[in-house]
Amino acid sequence: MSSPLSSPTSSPATPGLDPTTTAATAKTVYHDSPLDRLCIWLFSRKIANALGQKHQGSGYDGFVTLSRQMMQGRNAAEQQALVAVVLRSLVPAPVLWLIRTLFSPTRLVCELNAWFATQLFEWLVGPCEVTEVEIIAEDGTRRRQRSGVHIKKCRYLEDSQCVGLCVNLCKQPTQRFFTEDFGIPLTMTPNFEDFSCEMVFGQAPPPLETEDAYQQPCLVQRCELAPPEPRPCPKVRV
């Protein structure tokens, strides 16, 4: 499991500036275990196959570089569709069918998914923990359950420094994969100020256009597409 440490060369955010210019500037250093490196290699290989390339990169940096290539020349819908191909290649179709057929999104199932997420995906997103959340059903009823996952500082967002990559290559396709392919609703809410993220299993995701992420400007001084004035990230809307 990855062991994160704060980089001694990083500098703290400057108070009083727009958060999009100073978000989570304390760079985290990770020491990946052999299992972490295996997961990174496998996921990178699946992405390279989807792109029709031979995987030549190495480590987490190579994984992020490959994911950037998924964005090039594709609009938001095409990027998300390509990620869906990658995610489905990781789980055999019969397994997905069995999960959708045999397991409804009960409280127990959602809580187990949250626990498994904290155990399986730290190599991808960094340290995370199960939290108690409130689920609002379609009929308006509410219940509390431990099916939330708090990602303390998303490794992928911190490394990529890109709103478009976060939304198109992580948030949207992951929500759709769990909600539609697994049959277990999932909502993900990234925080672009501190790079944390809240995952809620059992909560159907709202339309992206109604979420703050749709209005989120590029991270100024970190993204080459960032305009001088704050405007919503163009990659999220195109």
pLDDT of residue 19: 40
Residue 209 lies in a domain: yes
Instruction: Find the domain containing 172 and state its range.
Output: 32-237
* Residue with the larger pLDDT of the pair 227 and 22: 227
Whether residue 23 has pLDDT greater than 90: no
Residue 22 lies in a domain: no
Interval 164-215: pLDDT, tens? 999 999 999 999 999 999 999 999 999 999 999 999 999 999 999 999 999 9
Residue 228 lies in a domain: yes
Whether residue 13 has pLDDT greater than 90: no
Whether residue 113 has pLDDT greater than 60: yes
Residue 17 lies in a domain: no
Residue 154 lies in a domain: yes
The structural domain count of the chain equals: 1
3-state secondary structure 41-83: HHHHHHHHHHHCCCCCCCHHHHHHHHHHHHHCCCCHHHHHHHH
pLDDT of residue 219: 85
pLDDT of residue 139: 83
Q: How far is 112 from 31, CA to CA, in rounded Å?
A: 27
* Residue with the larger pLDDT of the pair 234 and 195: 195
DSSP string, 151-212: ESS-HHHHHH--HHHHIIIIIHHHHHIIIIIIS--EEEEE-TTT--EEEEETSPPPPGGGSH
